[in-house]
Chains A and B, each alone.
Chain A
Amino acid sequence: MASTVALPVRGMRLVARAPILSNPLNLVALALIAMLAACALLAQVLAPYDPLALDLAVRLKPPSPEHWLGTDSLGRDIASRILYGARISLVIGVVVVGSAGVFGTFVGLIAGYAGGLVDEALMRLTEVFLAFPALILAMAIAGALGPSLTNAIIAIAAVTWAVYARLTRGQILSLRRREFVEAARAMGASRMRIILRHLLPNALAPLMVQASFDMGSSIIAAAGLSFIGFGAQPPTPEWGVMISEGRNFINTQPWLSLFPGLAILLAVGSFNLLGDGLRDAFDPRLSRAD
């Protein structure tokens, strides 16, 4: 009857009851993220033009009522491309954080719960991945697999998972000797049940904070890889590709690079702001210091 273990699942409560919405900055962050998600979902409806449609008659036009953010060197509407780019960036963030988060958490759970040699081996492997300069490893992977958005996502996920493994392991180590876990074990709860029902929910708070920051950093990393040619390829309306395409026009038509960069700044800033807010909400000690 392990399911009747009366001790609370503190982590889930912590997550559910944390004063996330009482901080106005969190509300701003959530509103910005909601706006970004709306742009991504409704790009087809919101975008005034086809993001790939060429119109050489209007090439390199500055912002105007017809083209709010101007046009690029092939006459494509920059606002429409940025709206579609939001979809790509959000997908990158979700896929990277989802896959790296799940894999890293799984590794951390095993290492933390099993202990001994398994822990030692998995943590050494994690350390190796943490020692890599992320962008250089991502470049090596993306270069080896061939430049594409999918390969860039694989490369970024490959350098991101290790943080989750280390975080989860640390949480598990501090939790596994706690009374509520001992109680569950004494009542005959299976290993899997203890991990999934008692350990994992309690480790969630720092993982959610990390995920929020990683949404932002993976969007920047993917844009960076695309910028140097290892990620999305033209004519994909990806923000890094757009900045790269505007590079030679920075003196004469700065809007080509300016607006996609601002879009990245806004998107990443929103996730970083949310990460800050979540950290403060989950850790009252930090919020006092703030």
Chain B
Amino acid sequence: MRFLGFLTRRIVGIAAVMIGVSIITFAISHVIPADPVAAALGDHATDQQIAAFRADYRLDRPLPEQYLTYVVGLAHGDLGRSIRTRRPVSDDLFDSFPATIELSLAALLVAIVVGIPAGVWSAVFRGRLPDHLVRLLSLIGGSVPVFWLGLIVIGVFYYQLGWLPGGARIDNFVAPPPTRTGLYVVDSLLAGDLEALRSSLLHLVLPALTLGYFSTAVIARMTRSSMLEVLGQDYMRTARAKGLQERLVVLRHGLRNALIPTVTILGLTFGSLLSGAVLTETIFSWPGLGRYATAAAIALDFPAVLGVTLLAAIVYPLANLVVDIAYFWLDPRTQRG
């Protein structure tokens, strides 16, 4: 019952935030000096064409009415029609979102697989060379512009060394796998298409490493500081005193307890990956939400901008909700509280 109450409160909270997000984004994209009609039709459009366009997109209606129409549409899963692509925004998002999810998940995987061991290593060798190295790399990871890092890795690994592809999701000469999830790696596996799997995995490496570096730095720092706190606890001393191997002490007793704060920031990290994906996708010609959003904002395609913003804004609280639910089950103290 307590869990249901918690879940209901959180979902109501998310719904309230989404209403706020939709109002603000709607206001930004409608109360603007720039003219979406001119952006869509060009300077040579006739008055008749402009009037037809405005009527078509209901731009001739009062703002509150436009917003209400939009919200009623939203309730029916209708995000409006893109001015740029002339397709329903929901269809565009449905096409581009899986690419972003695939990239973000791969980046998160990099962050977990590299960040957690790096944090543990740094804590165990506190004050010595490995610690300084991890801290320096974390500082760089938190300070490097992702779009610049992307350019540099393309320059080195694609142009100079020729080891990895520098853009797109799959080679031109390889047919994409049949769409089931939209994630090429998963779809290739499901279809048993090894050629598509190899190509999509290789294409994922550079963008995932680039996007994941920042999160790796965050996770390494968080793991390091919580490991340091745990390593000083009495039960660690006890574990050592009873003759347990140092490796087991660190991994079984230390890491298990130190991971709780790290799990908390995974949700936050996933949200921030979406923002980073905008620039990473631009650099790597990755056909995801970020590239779609950039093109939409340039073209003043406000239904598309609204759609992307709403989708991206819901991912962040949803990721945190998933983490909270995991927490609720993992940590009995939250159930009592």
* Interface set of A (CB-CB < 8 Å, partner B): 124-125, 127-129, 131-137, 139-146, 216, 220, 223-224, 227-230, 240, 243, 246-247, 250-251, 254, 257-258, 260-261, 264-265, 268-269, 272-273, 276, 286, 289-290
Contact = CB atoms under 8 A, between A and B. Distances in A.
A261 B148 contact: yes
B145 A220 contact: yes
Contact of B316 (A131, A229, A268, A289): A131
Interface in B126-170: 139-140, 142-149, 151-152, 154-155, 159-160
A104 B143 CA distance: 24
Nearest to B294: A228
A107 to B, nearest CB: 15
Contacts of A246: 151
B155 A251 contact: yes
Interface residues of B, number: 52
Given A125-B20, A228-B279, A251-B159, A144 B34 contact: yes
Contacts of B309: 132-133, 136-137, 140
Nearest to A147: B298
Contacts of A133: 271, 274-275, 278, 309, 312-313, 315-316
Given A133-B274, A136-B309, A268-B144, 17 more contacts: A124-B16, A127-B17, A129-B24, A131-B17, A131-B316, A133-B278, A137-B25, A143-B298, A144-B32, A144-B33, A227-B282, A250-B159, A251-B155, A251-B160, A257-B151, A257-B152, A272-B143
Interface of B: 13, 16-17, 20-21, 24-25, 28-29, 32-34, 139-140, 142-149, 151-152, 154-155, 159-160, 225, 228-229, 271, 274-276, 278-279, 282, 293-294, 297-298, 300, 302, 305, 308-309, 312-313, 315-317
A140 B271 CA distance: 18
A124 B14 CA distance: 11
A283 B13 CA distance: 32
Nearest to A285: B229
29 contacts: A131-B20, A132-B21, A132-B309, A133-B309, A133-B312, A133-B315, A135-B279, A136-B275, A136-B278, A139-B294, A140-B297, A144-B300, A220-B143, A220-B145, A224-B145, A227-B279, A228-B147, A240-B145, A240-B147, A250-B151, A250-B154, A257-B152, A261-B151, A261-B152, A264-B148, A265-B145, A268-B144, A289-B225, A290-B225
A134 B225 contact: no
Nearest to A230: B297
**Which of B34, B145, B278, B313 is packed against the most chain A CB atoms within 10 Å?**
B145
A151 to B, nearest CB: 10
Nearest to B136: A269
Given A228-B282, A243-B151, A265-B144, A146 B34 contact: yes
Contacts of B225: 286, 289-290
A288 to B, nearest CB: 9
A220 to B, nearest CB: 5
Contacts of A131: 17, 20-21, 313, 316-317
A254 B155 contact: yes
